[in-house]
Chains A and B, each alone.
Chain A
Amino acid sequence: MNVQKIRNGLVIDHIRAGTGPRIFNWLKLDRAPFSVALIMNVPSGQLGKKDIIKIDNVIDIDYSVLGFIDPNITVNVVEDEHVSRKITLNLPERVENVIRCRNPRCITSAEPGIPHVFRLVDRKRAEYSCEYCDELYRAGIGEFL
């Protein structure tokens, strides 16, 4: 499968297979006025299969949120058709208003307008807990706000 080279933009690579559409939607790329490509199930030596997103524009991305969704992602910044730098991601210590707490007994289910905050409690297990009720979540899993 050939996808045209991008001139100035971003290549979001090593996305866990199947997670690409989630990131595509989170970045609202379905409304992008520039060229974008979502490529799924690309053979990968490292992952077996992976998803890739190519964006022919330099857009602002909250890399901490991207790290929460999948810390194994790499982002290549392309300038004049060449990779000018690579961005590696980490699990952020805190994410706000990315996912919703699923615990029906949590105050976030009853109180309007408060931020949904999750803190990293176990980096090895990629485990986060809701700041309010302590419900545990694996990074990247959960209902997006």
Chain B
Amino acid sequence: MNERNAPSRGLAGLFGRGRGRASGGNADDGSAMLKGRHIIEPGNLSLPELDGLFDLAESIVKDPARYSEVCRGKILATLFFEPSTRTRLSFEAAMLRLGGSTLGFAEPGASSTAKGESLADTIRTVSSYVDVIAMRNPKEGAAHLASQYSSVPVINAGDGGHHHPTQTLTDLLTIRSIKGRFDGLTVGLCGDLKFGRTVHSLAKAMSRYPNVRFVLISPPELEIPDYIIAKVFKPSGVQYTQVRRLEEAIGDLDILYMTRVQKERFFNEQDYVRLKDSYILDAEKMRLARPDLCVLHPLPRVNEIAPEVDADPRAAYFAQVRYGMFARMALIMKLLGIVEGGGKKG
């Protein structure tokens, strides 16, 4: 007998909750609640659920004091099997700002896995102590596996190069908060579109909204994978164009999502030297852009955005970091079933 999910079936009383809906596949029922659910990939959330999440996040942005105690008595575990200061601190700040507590580890050496414990056993143990788990693990599918053994919601904080759903929520909340909408936007994706996980997730997420157009700005070596075009853009009827130079496209964009072009992705150094400046955003290129352009970057940045751009009001990548925390606050509240004002959804 497969013992997965056994705790939630046999010990539901002890753990105080039944298992939430499975994480796999798309959740298309807009009336469904998020309480008790696992968030493994961006597609786990339907558009109405995303709307509800962003409404709550924007409400928190407007009046954070109103939410400062709503998670009192609740514990978030941050289980980071590989270092990621930014994401871990964002989750911990989110829970602390909701009045809850956090525990966990920041590297595998500090966990029982260093003694050879399986991930399944670690998750069974930790989920006995806490109310929600945020986990990063270098292995693809680790979060999905964790969700099968956890008696509390699991949030995927990154599983290798696979999924990082709260980065996508961060990107979407930033766009919605700054632009006020998703519909009809022209989104430029610039840099490494081949290996960039955040780019793929954002492309999939934005393709779910009407009349979104993409401008794909990359060298030939780093073009977006064919499967994104064949399985995401074409079935959704999304319009897209591919260009080689940022200068050609920046004037048409509502959103510019920058990523880093890494030298090691190129076959030879000459190509890298020839192409790299096309994918570095500086004040000169910003002069070609619209006054209401919104520049995003998943961070950390290395040299793909010149520091002189930071002072430009169109540079939104540090605001994006803050929106990431608010997105995680809203997500934690939703998964715990906490409604505004501190009550609980039954």
Q: Which residues of A contact B (CB under 8 A)?
A: 103, 105-115, 130-134
Q: Is A106 a contact partner of B139 (Cβ separation < 8 A)?
A: yes
Q: Is B162 a contact partner of A133 (Cβ separation < 8 A)?
A: yes
Q: Which of B2, B4, B141 has the most CB atoms of chain A within a 10 A radius of its CB?
A: B141
Residue B144 at the chain A interface, CB threshold 8 Å: yes
A110 to B137, CA, bound (A): 11
Task: Write out the residue numbers on chain A whose beta carbons fall within 8 Å of the beta carbon of B140.
Answer: 103, 105-107, 132-134
Residue B338 at the chain A interface, CB threshold 8 Å: no
A131 to B141, CA, bound (A): 8
Sorted from nearest, which 8 A-B pairs have the closest CB atoms?
A132-B141, A133-B140, A107-B139, A107-B141, A133-B141, A107-B142, A105-B140, A107-B145
Q: Is B2 a contact partner of A115 (Cβ separation < 8 A)?
A: yes
Residue B118 at the chain A interface, CB threshold 8 Å: yes
Shortest beta-carbon distance from A1 to chain B in Å: 44
Residue B119 at the chain A interface, CB threshold 8 Å: yes
Our count of residue pairs bridging A and B at CB distance below 8 angstroms stands at: 51
Q: Is A134 a contact partner of B118 (Cβ separation < 8 A)?
A: no
Q: Is B118 a contact partner of A130 (Cβ separation < 8 A)?
A: no
A69 to B132, CA, bound (A): 40
Task: Write out the residue numbers on chain B whose beta carbons fall within 8 Å of the beta carbon of A105.
Answer: 138-140, 160-161
A110 touching B139 in the complex, CB below 8 Å, given contacts A131-B24, A132-B144: yes
A105 to B161, CA, bound (A): 9
**Closest Cβ neighbor of B162 among chain A residues:** A133
Residue B75 at the chain A interface, CB threshold 8 Å: no
- 10 extra interchain contacts, Cβ-Cβ under 8 A, other than A107-B159, A109-B139, A111-B118? A105-B138, A105-B160, A106-B139, A108-B141, A110-B139, A111-B139, A111-B142, A112-B118, A115-B4, A133-B141
A107 touching B2 in the complex, CB below 8 Å, given contacts A114-B145, A132-B144, A133-B141: no
Task: Write out the residue numbers on chain A whose beta carbons fall within 8 Å of the beta carbon of B139.
Answer: 105-107, 109-111
A103 to B138, CA, bound (A): 13
Task: Write out the residue numbers on chain A whose beta carbons fall within 8 Å of the beta carbon of B138.
Answer: 105
Residues 128-153 of chain B, each 1 if its beta carbon lies under 8 Å from chain A, else 0: 00000000011111101100000000
Task: Write out the residue numbers on chain A whose beta carbons fall within 8 Å of the beta carbon of B4.
Answer: 115
Residue B120 at the chain A interface, CB threshold 8 Å: yes
A130 to B140, CA, bound (A): 10
A134 touching B24 in the complex, CB below 8 Å, given contacts A107-B139, A111-B118: no
Q: Is A130 a contact partner of B2 (Cβ separation < 8 A)?
A: no
A-B contact pairs, 13 of them (CB 8 A): A106-B140, A107-B141, A107-B159, A108-B141, A110-B119, A111-B118, A111-B142, A113-B118, A115-B2, A131-B141, A132-B145, A134-B140, A134-B141
Shortest beta-carbon distance from B234 to chain A in Å: 15
Question: Could you tell me which residues of chain B, from 1 to 35, have a CB within 8 Å of some CB in chain A?
Answer: 2, 4, 24
Task: Write out the residue numbers on chain A whose beta carbons fall within 8 Å of the beta carbon of B142.
Answer: 107, 111, 132
Task: Write out the residue numbers on chain B whose beta carbons fall within 8 Å of the beta carbon of A107.
Answer: 119, 137, 139-142, 144-145, 159
A131 touching B144 in the complex, CB below 8 Å, given contacts A105-B161, A115-B2: yes
A113 to B149, CA, bound (A): 13
